[in-house]
Amino acid sequence: MKYISLGKTGLKVSCIWLGTWQFGSGSWGYGKSYSEKDCVEAIIASLEAGVNVIDTAEVYGAGVSEQIIGKTLKEYGDDVLVATKVAPHHLSYGEVLKACERSLKRLGVRTIDLYQIHFPNPLIPISQTMKAMEKLVKDGKIMHIGVSNFSLKQLVKAREALKSEDIVSNQVRYNLIQREIEKELYPYCVKEKITILAYSPLAQGVLTGRYGPQNLPRDIIRKINPLFGRRFLSKAQPLFDALKKLAEKYGATPGQIALSWITSRDENVAIAGAKNREQATINAAAGKIVLTPEEVSKLSELSDKAKPDFVDAMNVIPRLLGF
Ligand SMILES: NC(=O)c1ccc[n+]([C@@H]2O[C@H](COP(=O)([O-])OP(=O)(O)OC[C@H]3O[C@@H](n4cnc5c(N)ncnc54)[C@H](OP(=O)(O)O)[C@@H]3O)[C@@H](O)[C@H]2O)c1
């Protein structure tokens, strides 16, 4: 497993983190196709494979994700770091403090290692939120401050609002198909040593090569994701073929190659969501693969050709609303 420094903190974190939006989330099929036991096993398998950070959020499974992590770490996780997020409707000064207390309780820890603002909220001044975040650091309730889904402009503003701390990470959607951050956010973060935490690094499963026009996922989350549309899946076939070919070379899976396309460069982290032991083990093992710069470029070229041509609601709606 490759380890990198989180922001400028010097804290060593694995380049693959376990993502746990799936834990407790009925919209991903929790309770039907996988259970709490599977989630616990996914955590244990990740730790065994050298993953040392688990990513969650107060909203995942309405708190169930944090609870499952808390219960499991009590038994297995002495050296594990936890990254959680405060929801955008809890960003006023008082609400941040209260949300943090609730997360600490569910997680069963004294300190949250990385506390992230899940989405920006234009209705609440960022200075107010950051004042609360700095108080939490001062009180020892959180170790580091991160943001998520922040544009470059929002990130710069958020940093300016901090007095004694800095932002160590920005958790954003980034994968071989959805690369919008590369334009301005990515170079800024690399230059400023703000770690890019790439979410949906497998494009919610598209890049594992498991799904095709004849085999589509049935859960609500992916029914509304246009990447699972027949048109896009056909267009991206050359990219999927290249992932498969490289996977053969490395004795890996296409999904592992897609993860290593992110982690082979700079000091990036890929947060891979998993529903069970097997997926978590496979994803963690991607942290050992280092693609050559030529292989990274070749995949990027093929990804340019597969660029989706539909309107990306996930990206456009928040921008229209001024988020
Ligand atoms: N900050 C934010 O706003 C935000 C947004 C989204 C996600 N996140 C975080 O990032 C994490 C990852 O993102 P994501 O869950 O959206 O997408 P992802 O990691 O790209 O995809 C996860 C899905 O891919 C499939 N999968 C995972 N590993 C696999 C493997 N080894 N082989 C085959 N299939 C595999 C699983 O679904 P199936 O088995 O059903 O195919 C899994 O649910 C989340 O859990 C969460 O922690 C944050």
Which atom of ligand 1 lies closest to the CA of 118? 1
Q: Choose, from 3, 30, 34, 60, the residue flagged as catalytic.
A: 60
Measuring CA to CA, how many Å separate 45 from each of 17, 54, 278, 282?
A: 12, 12, 8, 9
3-state secondary structure at position 55:
strand
- In whole angstroms, what is the distance from residue 20 CA to residue 30 CA? 11
Nearest CA to ligand 1 atom 8: 199
User: Could you state, in order of their start, the residue ranges of all structural domains in the chain?
Assistant: 3-320
Ligand 1 atom, smallest distance to 172 CA: 1
Per residue in 2-18, pLDDT (tens digit) is 999 999 999 999 999 99
Q: Look at ligand 1, atom 10, and give the residue with the nearest C-alpha.
A: 199
In the reported structure, the alpha carbon of residue 312 is separated from the centroid of ligand 1 by a whole-number distance in angstroms of: 18
The CATH classification number of 3-320 equals 3.20.20.100
Measured distance CA(174)–CA(304) in Å, rounded: 14
Its sign, for the CA torsion 72, 75, 77, 81, is positive
Is 60 a residue of the active site?
yes
The minimum-distance atom of ligand 1 relative to the CA of 283 is 31
Q: Comparing C-alpha atoms, which of 218, 224, 186 is closest to residue 314?
A: 224
**DSSP state letter for 18:** E
Secondary structure E strands in 89-174? 112-117, 142-148, 167-173
User: Of 107, 50, 97, 46, nearest to 73 (Cα)?
Assistant: 107
What is the per-residue pLDDT for 280? Answer: 98
CA of 204 to the centre of ligand 1 (A): 5
Amino acid at 4: I
Supply the pLDDT for residue 2.
Answer: 97
Cβ proximity of 221 and 27 under 8 Å: yes
CA dist., res. 216 & res. 303, Å (int): 21
pLDDT recorded at residue 311: 62
- Residues of the chain scoring pLDDT < 70: 310-323
What's the mean pLDDT when you consider all of the chain?
Answer: 94
Checking 149-157 for CB contacts under 8 A at 24+ apart, the result is 149/118, 149/119, 149/120, 149/173, 149/318, 149/323, 150/117, 150/120, 151/185, 151/319, 152/184, 152/185, 152/188, 154/120, 154/126, 155/185, 155/188, 155/189, 155/194, 157/126
Residues with CB under 6 A from ligand 1: 19-22, 28, 55, 118, 148-149, 171, 199-205, 208, 210, 217, 255, 271-275, 279, 282-283
Nearest protein CA to atom 47 of ligand 1, as residue: 19
What are the pLDDT digits (tens) for 268-319? Answer: 999 999 999 999 999 999 999 999 999 999 999 999 998 887 666 665 554 4
Q: Rounded to two decimals, what is the model's pTM?
A: 0.95
| Span from the CA of 163 to the centroid of ligand 1 (angstroms) | 35
Q: Distance, CA 205 to ligand 1 centroid (Å)?
A: 7
Of ligand 1's listed atoms, the one at least distance from the Cα of 199 is 10
CA of 57 to the centre of ligand 1 (A): 14
One-letter amino acid at 200 equals: S
Segment (H or E) for 30: none
Q: Which residues of 104-120 are buried (b: 16+ CB within 10 A; e: fewer)?
A: bebbebebbbbbbbbbb
